A and B are shown apart, each in its own frame.
Chain A
Amino acid sequence: MRTLESVMIEHRFFHGLEDELTRAIAGCGKQVRFETGQYLYRQGDPADTFYIIRRGSVGLEMRGPQGNMMFNTEHPGGVLNAAWIVPPYRCSTDARALETTVAVALNGKCLRDKCEADHHLGYELMKRFVPVLVDRLTHARFQTLDVYGAGMA
């Protein structure tokens, strides 16, 4: 049986993290599995968990005038639910497993408390989360441009 730490260090999100910090983060985590169609979380839920995907894929959806629309999918290596670090800690989307999905689930409240107590840990986590957030913002802008809409003959 592999420890959570050994699973985490293989994931690119944790590359380069000191062993002691990896152990501290693993103390807030567990391995989870979702079957196809199962929701990891729903819009408005407390954002008390974030996920590091190991296998499978997850669709991020929002409720629109014509029903739920999927605006992003995450795959192995992807990180889900950055709302755990932003008050009021509420999920802003639905997240649904598109196939059997295995992930590491990390308790946000547990990690926030550890980050408050150890700012070095907090800084290391922020260095990993900020690029994820910037990428998401850049990608969302790109999608807003609707570049494939028309024009090329």
Chain B
Amino acid sequence: MHTGAEAPTDPMIPRLFAVRARRDETEDTFTFDLEPRDLGPRDLELLGGARSMAFAPGQFNMLYLFGLGEVPISISGDPAEAGRLVHTVRSVGSVTRGFSGLQPGQTVGVRGPFGTAWPTREAEGRDILILAGGLGLAPLRPAILRILAERRRYRRVYLFYGTRNPQMLLFRDDLERWRNTPDLAFEITVDHADITWHGRVGVITKLIAAADFDPDRSTAFLCGPEIMMHFSAEALKARGMHGADIHVSLERNMKCAIGHCGHCQLGPAFVCRDGPVFPHDRVAGLLAVPGL
């Protein structure tokens, strides 16, 4: 299993961060940057002296909005960029709706980072296929940035991004940059569009059929709705890839983030502790069980 950066000494105590910047991605999705609040020596002692914001691509933090509650949110920033934490959130519940009103200077509690990481190191020397669906681009973004920063360590790199319509596209500055990145086969496809859209329309699995990669020397990273990951994994296997080389990031009801409370249990695994990134062959059978 791939583990990332270590969590603070007491993983149940949140550290205080301030919102440094906030930007809208879409009508209901936004990204905000966090930086540590200035802390006194007594505070640092209480928090185990932990001021590091190091994380591994794919890991998540528990973000605490005081008075409302705590939610698990993947880290969407650049792992090479020290000094700030970046998260991207969609407003779907009472806590995330609360986050949508955050303004620079406000305080957020942070526990983490937690969970397993995308195996970017283990994938060196191989073809890379990254398939992101909808908001699933956010947990993949740190891996994409690392792979592109270290592009020579990999063979062919494919990045396929599917979303509902052009209005739902995230990280538009990144998308423009990735379109113009040499040695990156980057495609966006949407489920439907009006006639002003000049890009692809159709399901993301269509892109897999046309990609030229060596199935025995490829690693795939998938993140998006489970049904999208299921169909994508099946399409990759139809091309000859092995389930152990296909990695998926799962989302469950994570509460404690350290494998104690059991809310995120998926069969024998706790998604918060053993995931969220899993080899597909480890979870494919579990995901096929209705209601699990």
Give the B-binding residues of A (Cβ under 8 A): 57, 59-61, 66-73, 75, 77, 96, 98, 139, 142-143, 145-153
B201 proximal to A (CB < 8 A): yes
**Which single residue of chain B is at the shortest CB-CB distance from A60?**
B201
A71 and B193 CA atoms in complex are apart in Å by 7
- A–B Cβ pairs within 8 angstroms, 27 of them: A59-B201, A66-B194, A67-B194, A67-B195, A68-B195, A69-B194, A70-B192, A70-B193, A70-B194, A70-B197, A72-B201, A75-B210, A139-B206, A142-B205, A142-B231, A143-B191, A147-B134, A147-B224, A148-B134, A148-B135, A148-B164, A148-B168, A148-B228, A151-B225, A153-B89, A153-B96, A153-B251
Q: Is the CB of A145 within 8 A of B73?
A: no
**Which single residue of chain B is at the shortest CB-CB distance from A71?**
B192
4 additional A-B pairs beyond A67-B194, A150-B90, A153-B90, beta carbons within 8 Å, are A71-B192, A71-B201, A152-B90, A152-B135
Number of interface residues of B (CB under 8 A): 37
Q: Is the interface of B mostly helix, strand, loop or mixed?
A: mixed
B162 proximal to A (CB < 8 A): yes
Q: Is the CB of A149 within 8 A of B195?
A: no
B58 proximal to A (CB < 8 A): no
Give the A-binding residues of B (Cβ under 8 A): 71-73, 89-90, 92-93, 96, 133-136, 162-164, 168, 191-195, 197-203, 205-206, 210, 224-225, 227-228, 231, 251
- Find A147's partner among B96, B195, B199, B225 (CB 8 Å cutoff): B225
What's the minimum C-beta distance from A99 to chain B, rounded to whole angstroms? 8
Q: Is the CB of B251 within 8 A of A152?
A: yes
Q: Is the CB of B203 within 8 A of A69?
A: no
